[in-house]
Amino acid sequence: MNRVAVTIALALPLSAVSLSGCAHRPRPTVAVEAAAPRPTGWRALASAEDQARIDALPRRWAEAKTRITRRYAGKVTAEGALLDPAGALPLPSLPPGPYRCRLVRLGGTAPIASFKPDFCYIEGDAKGVAFTKVDGANLPGGWLFEDGATRQVLLGGTRRHANQQSPGYGTDPAGDVAGIVERVGPFRWRLVLPKAGRGALLDIYELVPVPPAVPGATPAVAGK
């Protein structure tokens, strides 16, 4: 009897220690990471490279301005808000119709270069608003997406010939077009393309509506 009592007495403390250890051991937890929010609007369609180019526009503007020498400063000043990085105004939407679109290139062979105006067209339907450059050496086109109160984003492609239909964005990544549209004054907009031609930093198109021809209308004469 004494032998059994001693065995039981020794076993009880060991069991108590074992149970005590289990009681204080932390329970395993499962960490669930929240899914990253899916991009919406133009970011849901744009490639990572084009998103990065658009996000880097402030830096490209700054670099382009550093290349403006005293010789070219007057040309930049003459363009006014068109070449002001902070010149965007509210209500950036382009009304449908024809436009004169003049290319101003920054940071290329020359710090600033301006070209003769071509024609562009804005067309709206149930699918959205589309931009098309009608003539000239460069023929970008695509769809416009709302992006805040002061700009729209253009995603599209480049036509090789004027009579071709504009390729969809992503059809030919090398010819993809991504840029922003901003209003910089009354009846004056700009399209800023960070993937500029001839190794430049920025291609900026000035967009000015073509006045409609009104039958029977005569030009206003000052003083009458």
Task: Give the dihedral sign, CA 92/96/100/103.
Answer: positive
Query: Which residue(s) pair with 183 in the sheet?
Result: 89, 189
As given in the structure block, the two tokens for residue 58 are 């402030």
Whether 153 and 159 have beta carbons less than 8 Å apart is answered as no
The model scores a pTM over 0.85:
no
For the chain, the structural domain boundaries read 42-209
Q: What's the length of the chain?
A: 224
> Radius of gyration over alpha carbons of the chain, in Å?
32
40 pLDDT band, cuts 50/70/90, is confident
pLDDT digits (tens, 9 = 90+) for 172-184: 999 999 999 999 9
Whether 144 and 131 have beta carbons less than 8 Å apart is answered as yes
